[in-house]
């Protein structure tokens, strides 16, 4: 069954529902220990009787609050031949995976 977009919009307005598209590049949901990142999002804001809700679809990934995943820390540790703690500390300092590996190899 096909629904005519104009009829749907008219029916939504009659019910007091307003919908607007939001042009977003990225959506980040922050939790206590991680960030949920939605890339290439399609974001709609729906207002129903004064209550605003958002509908978001897109490519979902997660990252730790520190900005580097556990896989990143592990890779730096393996490539530089150091402990995970040393790798994590250098990543926190440099904020760059390649730079962290190079600096750790020089030490």
CATH number at residue 26: 2.20.70.30
Query: pLDDT truncated to tens, each residue of the chain (107 aa)?
Result: 677 878 888 888 888 888 899 999 999 898 887 888 899 999 999 998 889 999 999 999 887 776 788 888 999 999 999 999 999 999 888 888 999 999 999 87
Say whether both 20 and 52 belong to one domain. yes
Are 16 and 35 in a shared domain? yes
Q: Are residues 12 and 31 in the same domain?
A: yes
Please check whether residues 75 and 57 belong to one and the same domain.
Answer: no
Same domain? For 12 and 59 the reply is yes
Domain count, the chain: 2
Domain, as residue range, for 96: 70-106
Claim to verify: residue 37 and residue 76 sit in the same structural domain: no
The CA–CA distances, whole Å, from 71 to 13, 35, 74, 78, 94 equal 48, 15, 5, 10, 17
pTM of the model: 0.53
Residues 58 and 74 in one domain: no
CB atoms within 10 A of CB 40: 11
Alpha carbon distance 20, 42 (integer Å): 11
């Amino acid at each position: 069954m096909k629904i005519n977009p104009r009829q749907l919009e008219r029916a939504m307005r009659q019910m007091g529902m307003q919908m607007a598209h939001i042009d977003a590049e990225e959506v980040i949901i922050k939790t206590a220990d991680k960030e949920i990142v939605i890339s290439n999002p399609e974001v709609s804001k729906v207002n129903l009787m004064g209550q605003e809700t958002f509908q978001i679809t897109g490519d979902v990934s997660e990252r730790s609050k520190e900005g580097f995943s556990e896989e990143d820390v592990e890779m730096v540790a393996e490539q530089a031949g150091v402990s995970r703690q040393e790798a994590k500390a250098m990543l926190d300092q440099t904020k760059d995976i390649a730079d962290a590996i190079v600096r750790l190899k020089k030490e």
